[in-house]
Structure 1
Amino acid sequence: MTAPIAPLDGIKVLDLSRVLAGPWCAQMLGDLGAEVIKVERPEAGDDTRHWGPPYLHTDDGAKTEQASYYTCCNRNKRSITIDMASPQGQALIIELAKEADILVENFKVGGLKGYGLDYESLRKINPRLIYCSVTGFGQTGPYAPRAGYDLMVQAMSGMMSITGHPDGEPGGGPLKVGVAVTDVFTGIYSCCSILAALQARHRTGEGQHIDMALLDVGMAVLANQAVGYLNADEIPQRAGNIHPSVGPYQDFPSKDGNVLLAIGNDGQFARFCAATGNEAWAQDARFTRNSGRIIHRKDLQELMYPLMKTRTTAEWIALLEDKAVPCGPINNIAQAFDDEQVIARGLHVQIPRDAGDQIGTISTVASPMRLTATPPVVRRPPPAMGQHTDEILAELGRSPAQIAQLHSEGVV
């Protein structure tokens, strides 16, 4: 049988972005079958190549100077190094843009205009180009010129104000999320916007400019917390691991550690009470409905904390898993990758890389997009810096002598 055609087979992406949000978007497009060419700075490359520790290791276990961070968002790409500040480098990127369907960039607003690589310039040579700009604050507004990073946006959007323990509790105070979630969500929203623009191009034949901002995304993913404030005029507060609107939906100390309960409706609570021999709790007017359990949360916690310490985490999971009562462990990342469900889903992927740098295998996380007919495929490992420069230049029609000259002049 022949291999299925990937959803974005034949689509060409020019990735001028670096760090996380833009590269995450381009990687998703690559996972879906698009051909992605990543342009990096000669010698330096993407910033995240140097964001370590931790670092990649060679086959014999020796640590390299290549940070592992880069590998999380740059698989299924080829890397070419080009000096964008040089006229010859700009000309090469324009050649690549002529043939591209999509361009992703995350330079400061107006940063590419002086190089002739802004949307208005490139649309003249390629009207079908879908040009996605990712910035901290968008192309308009008083903050548009500012640089923006995930941590800054987590703080400005209010996300940190609702993450962490309340003031006055041990460890209280605002916290960032343990992953750069605003960057990741911006990459996902950007990919979704690009796919919508591709569909629109099927009808109109024209590309368009997409203006993505980390702050916009940071505000959007506040979700229920945002609309709760907007509609009820109540500012959400930090609540640790307790859900402000559902309960009991939190972690509890168990006999040997911690266990998480995620009871989201009255039926689940009743089944929990029956399983633990506490049917009276479900009949108690304070706890029968979710709204009451939130109002009387402290009363319910006083009953549940001693109960939850009577069993180990594994015993709680065994008791509740066939009762349709969501219950689970609080894993560290190593434990998560050892979980039988994670293993069964094939989420740890190892990819061989032949870049002449002794790094034989790179591990990554499989795409969570599971399309039955046209599934994402890891076709290329995260590339070494400039690994495909000569290959891509040859595809642009440059001879070996011309390629050698571009190298000697520092253009690539």
Structure 2
Amino acid sequence: MPALDDLRVLDLTRVLGGPYCTMLLADLGADVVKIEPPGGDFVRETPPFHEDDDSFGGYFQSVNRGKRSLELDFTDETDREHFRSLVEEADVLVENYRVGTMEKFGLEYERLAEINPQLVYASMRGFGDPRTGESPKQHEPAFDLVAQALGGIMHLTGQEDGPPTKVGFGIGDIFTGVLHAVNILAAVHYRDRTGVGQFVDTAMYDAMISLAERAVYQYSYTGEVPKRQGNSHPTLFPYNAFEAADGYVVVAALGDNHWASLCEAMGRPEWVVDYPDARDRLEARDELRAAIGDWVADRTVDEVCSALGDDVPCAPVQTVADVYECEHAERREMLVESALPDAEGTVTIAGTPLKMTKTPPSPGERAPLLDEHRGELLETDPAADVEGVVEGDSGKVGVSDGGTPED
């Protein structure tokens, strides 16, 4: 029995952060119904595509697995009525439209709560919703890059003498999506105890400030704006990436025991006496970094990791190809196979990091074709649905309200 198999989620989100949130809920067993505007989530058309199947791209496949799809046009009263009928039986609704979009269609939280008082209505926007806190930016659009820039993430990322740099992956979307899932499950827990639903809200900008918590307290304690430090840490040493003969390796010898083991491996036992605690090592970081760098440079990545063994936290800097070859990723089922809709064979997507012993999550089935589940959700003629899927999935992608997605 999956942990959330009694939960019905209506997913109105698009692009990355919202779909990642609802994907986590689907992995945990929730029945996630992806409500798509005419033409569908425009990420369906985002490459890469499989050479044998262009039904949708890898981007869409990765974060929409295990969901069902229903295409609805909120400008049409019949479709709005279909949606309201689904709300009656739903536990959670998740959307990431701009503020005011759902109000245009008479489908805002207050009206839907009249239909279903137990509904947990979860909005995920760039700058939050007025119901939980006003912001002068609430009507502005936001994407991952905007959230990383505003939240201080870009300012602290990159080399000391280089420009601000975004994190390689969409943490403005994904971290917000993870927090949103926590927010939703907390509200569901409250609903289960009281019988009362509520409106919950997670803002991308807020999430980035939370993620940058170290910079927040540093500025408060010191009055100084933290600077970019590349791969090093402002208060811990050694904690850095070093270039070996054939790649890069990270070393994080923070504890005194780790430091002693590193000194022994390097043949520098005197360092244990000369730099006995973390403050001593931090003060001498420039000299020690150069010496450690020279030692690493004379060895391969494997030789460094072998020399440090299990006593010093260290690791090679891997590419995704290395992850594919990693025994850990295989044993922990972090690379899973997902079917293609219109071709034989499978593609590989990231597995779920959520692990349980009694109710183990599952990445579920492939992502759905557009409107694939209309028949079972609205009890219409399945034969007509198949025809509609083919036509709808090849049509031009659009957003019913003409708005900009929040993530």
Could you state the TM-score of these two structures normalised by the residue count of structure 2?
A: 0.90
1:320 matched residue in structure 2: 308
Describe the shift of the 1:123–1:402 C-alpha distance in structure 2 as closer, same or farther (beyond 3 A). Answer: farther
Hey, what's the Cα distance between the residues in 1 that align with 2:85 and 2:78? Answer: 11
Paired position in structure 2 for 1:157: 151
Letter in 1 for 2:24: M
- What is the deviation of 1:255? 2.5
Residues 347-386 of structure 1: matches in 2 within 5 Å? 347-353=334-340, 355=341, 357-358=342-343, 360-386=345-371
Give SS of 1:367's match.
Answer: coil
Distance 1:405-1:382 versus aligned 2 partners, 3 A rule: closer
For structure 2, the residue ranges without an aligned partner over 5 or more in a row are 401-407
Matches within 5 A, 1:333-352: 333-352=320-339
SS of 1:252's equivalent in the other structure is strand
Tell me, in whole angstroms, the C-alpha distance in 2 between the residues paired with 1:12 and 1:257: 47
Specify whether residues 30 and 404 from structure 1 end up closer, same or farther in structure 2 by C-alpha distance, changes over 3 A only: closer
Root-mean-square deviation (CA), in Å? Answer: 2.3
Deviation at 1:41, TM superposition (A): 2.0
Distance of 2:344 and 2:123 partners within structure 1: 33
1:362–1:381: 8 Å Cα contact kept in structure 2?
no
Shift of 1:400: 6.4
- Give the percent of matched residue pairs that are identical in Structure 1 and Structure 2: 36
Q: Structure 1 residue aligned with 2:264, among 252, 260, 274?
A: 274
Distance 1:296 1:406, change over 3 A: closer
Whether the aligned pair in 2 keeps the contact of 1:15 and 1:105 (CA below 8 Å) is yes
Offset at residue 89 of structure 1 (A): 1.4
What letter matches 1:373 in structure 2? K
8 Å Cα contact 1:57-1:359 kept in structure 2:
no
Cα separation, 2, equivalents of 1:388 and 1:214: 31
Structure 1 residue 153 displacement after superposition: 0.9
The residue type equivalent to 2:212 in the other structure is: L
- The corresponding residue for 2:51 is 57
Rounded to whole Å, the distance in 1 between the matches of 2:384 and 2:195 is 35
Q: Kindly state the Cα deviation for residue 399 of structure 1 after the two structures are TM-superposed.
A: 5.2
What is the TM-score when the length of structure 1 is the normalising length? 0.89
1:265 aligns with 2:255: yes
The answer to whether the 8 A contact 2:55-2:369 is kept is no
For residues 222-276 of structure 1, the C-alpha deviation after alignment (integer angstroms, 9 at most, x for no partner) is 1222222223222111111111111111111212222211122222111110122
Mean CA deviation greater in 74-83 or 64-73: 64-73
Residue of structure 2 aligned with 1:30, choices 20, 26, 32:
26
Tell me the secondary structure at the aligned position of residue 19 of structure 2: helix
Query: In the aligned structure 1, how far is the partner of 2:387 from the partner of 2:345?
Result: 31
Write the deviation string for residues 11-55 of structure 1: whole angstroms up to 9, x where unpaired. 100001101111111111111111110011232x11211222x22
> Which amino acid counterpart does residue 50 of structure 1 have in structure 2?
E
Give the equivalent residue in structure 2 for 1:243.
233
Flag the structure with more relative contact order, 1 or 2, with Cα contacts below 8 A and sequence separation at least 6.
2
Query: What SS class does the counterpart of residue 309 from structure 2 fall into?
Result: helix
Change (3 A) 1:67 1:379: closer
Stretch of structure 1 that moved more, 369-378 or 343-352: 343-352
Q: Distance in 2 between matches of 1:346 and 1:318?
A: 26
Shift in CA distance, 262/110, structure 1 to aligned 2, threshold 3 Å: same
Q: Is the 8 A contact 1:351 1:361 kept in 2?
A: yes
How far did 1:157 drift?
Answer: 0.9
Structure-1 separation of matches of 2:257 and 2:325 = 32
Query: How far is 1:405 from its partner?
Result: 12
In structure 1, the gaps of 5 or more residues are none
Contact kept? 2:375, 2:381, Cα under 8 Å: no
**Deviation readout 1:346-398 (Å, 9 max, x if unpaired):** 21111234x4x22642322111111111010133211122222223221xxx4
CA distance 1:393–1:123, shift in 2 (3 Å): same
How far residue 320 of structure 1 moved from its aligned partner, in angstroms, is 1.2
Amino acid in structure 1 at the alignment position of 2:214: N
Pick one of 390, 393, 396 that aligns with 2:375: 390
Once the 2 structures are TM-superposed, how far is the Cα of residue 402 of structure 1 from its aligned partner? 9.1
CA distance 1:405–1:24, change in 2 (3 Å): closer
Q: Distance in 1 between matches of 2:31 and 2:386?
A: 25
- Correspondent of 1:298 among 286, 291, 300: 286
Q: What pairs up with 1:12-411 in 2 under 5 angstroms?
A: 12-43=8-39, 45-52=40-47, 54-58=48-52, 64=54, 66-139=56-129, 140-167=134-161, 172-284=162-274, 287-322=275-310, 324-353=311-340, 355=341, 357-358=342-343, 360-394=345-379, 398=380
1:19 is matched by which residue type in structure 2?
V
Distance of aligned partners of 1:340 and 1:404 in 2 relative to their CA distance in 1, 3 Å threshold? closer
Describe the shift of the 1:402–1:276 C-alpha distance in structure 2 as closer, same or farther (beyond 3 A).
closer
